[in-house]
Structure 1
């Protein structure tokens, strides 16, 4: 319980402490390259995410980091728990924004950082707005920013990988950027399997080979979605964590 109280104090305390850094990254010169600008913007959020994971007593092992290509990519990941985002932010070197449900805007200060990180807010209850969010994501990818999506749409909490919604993959198809499958195993043990607080856990992140076929050839989105899901499931089965 003490660990949990300290975690939440740090969660919001760091956000307040980081406000000067937020103002600084908002004023970065437009002459900077997209890659360099994103790297500078994500330095503080990455440190915050790493501390949030460490404060739970958890550890993370990354496999396949050498598979990351240069330039913007769409990361496609399974979704086990609430710690998926901080784990990915702190363990994957390439900066990225992510697709987030619009309700996150209600959390104090967090949306301000998400906006400069090129995160996209989506309202799943509003089809027109959801389509517009996909277009915004496509634009971000074309501009050179990477994104991560969780096409299951909800946390599996350690259960079977859910069916993938193919809509988000449209961004990579339209923007012509590589799709990188990411398999996460163990994040649900930190929070979701507990009634209260956090439990230290070991988490494994597996970065798969990028898919690039759709960049040169017309590709069926549903078939691609199925193939990526199967790849993630296969990597999950190979995980050393049980």
Structure 2
């Protein structure tokens, strides 16, 4: 209990200071870019978000170990589709572990309602799946993949309350098949204890991430088959991480 109190007493102020600094610096930069270099605003904002995430992870790693393993670093590059299991609000910060910043999140509506994130999400051109139908989402996704972006999906759509993988929705896999862009499985373990769903308190628990080799759409006859295989790969990887 004392460890938990110590962690929150020190970690929260550091994250608040860093977040305040990032907003104070990043938002004016993005807004000025929107006026003078509108075509580059999205990419610049995504870079700023990536740098902010890296800063958050540096702060967290002072208190909690964050272990990253990349199966094949040479193949980890956009355009691609990142598919991650979802355990905690903190999962989005782990995307700063990627070696590139040009990532567009494809998410539900509620993060767009967080006042200090919403302006950056709009400027970064993130896709809101509750404002777009499937055809619109696919069309937007194809456009950004052609711009050499990566798309990030949490195909369960919700955080797992049990730590077990939930149902995978088909959007990411349908886009992968239509665009012939590889899927990168992004496996997360430990964030459901570090920051439990429904809790605001951090707990001292190691976080482990394994980024796997690309899964190629050409290996599958349908996006349904691809969805099943990617889920199986992530599930087996999480089991291995837990036993390690």
Aligned residues: 231
- The residue matched to 2:133 in structure 1 has which SS? helix
CA distance in 2, matches of 1:118, 1:171: 18
Number of the residue aligned with 2:165:
161
Aligned to 1:92: 98
Q: Which residue of 2 aligns with 1:19?
A: 27
Q: CA deviation at 1:154?
A: 0.9
Q: Distance in 1 between matches of 2:82 and 2:129?
A: 17
SS in 2 for 1:229: helix
Equivalent position SS for 1:152: coil
**Among 60, 68, 76, the residue aligned to 2:66:** 60
Give, in whole Å, the separation in 2 of the partners of 1:28 and 1:60: 36
| Residue 216 (structure 2) pairs with residue 209 (structure 1) | no
- How far apart, in 2, do the equivalents of 1:99 and 1:91 lie? 18
CA distance in 1, matches of 2:198, 2:74: 34
Listed as ranges, the gaps of 5+ residues in structure 2 are: 1-7
Q: Which structure 1 residue ranges, 5 or more long, are not aligned? A: none
More helix by share: 2
> Quick one: distance in 1 between partners of 2:227 and 2:74?
19
Mapping of residues 209-228 of structure 1, within 5 Å: 209-214=213-218, 219-228=221-230
Distance 1:241 1:53 in 2: 24
Whether contact under 8 Å (1:73, 1:141) holds in the other structure is: yes
Report the Cα distance in structure 2 between the residues aligned to 1:232 and 1:67, rounded to whole angstroms.
20
2 CA distance for matches of 1:172 and 1:116? 25
The Cα offsets for residues 81-118 of structure 1, whole Å up to 9 and x where unpaired, read as 11111012x21112211112112222224233223433
Scaled by the length of structure 2, the TM-score of the pair is 0.81
Cα distance, 1:182 vs structure 2: 1.2
| Structure 1 match to 2:3 | none
Q: Kindly indicate whether the alpha-carbon contact (under 8 Å) linking 2:183 and 2:215 is maintained by their aligned counterparts in 1.
A: yes
- In the other structure, the counterpart of 2:5 is none
CA distance 1:104–1:189, shift in 2 (3 Å)? same
Give 2:9's match in structure 1, choosing from 2, 12, 17.
2
Which residue does 2:239 correspond to in 1?
237
Map 1:37-56; keep pairs closer than 5 Å.
Answer: 38=43, 40-56=44-60
Contact kept? 1:53, 1:59, Cα under 8 Å:
no
Contact 2:112 2:121 in 1 (8 A): no
Aligned to 2:152, what secondary structure does the other structure show? strand
Scaled by the length of structure 1, the TM-score of the pair is 0.81
- Cα deviation for residue 149 of structure 1 reads 0.4
76, 82, 89: which one aligns with 2:89: 82
Deviations 1:194-222 (A, max 9, x none): 854212332111111112243xx773111
Alignment of 1:167-182 (within 5 A): 167-182=171-186
Give the 3 Å change call, closer, same or farther, for CA 138–59 of structure 1 in structure 2.
farther
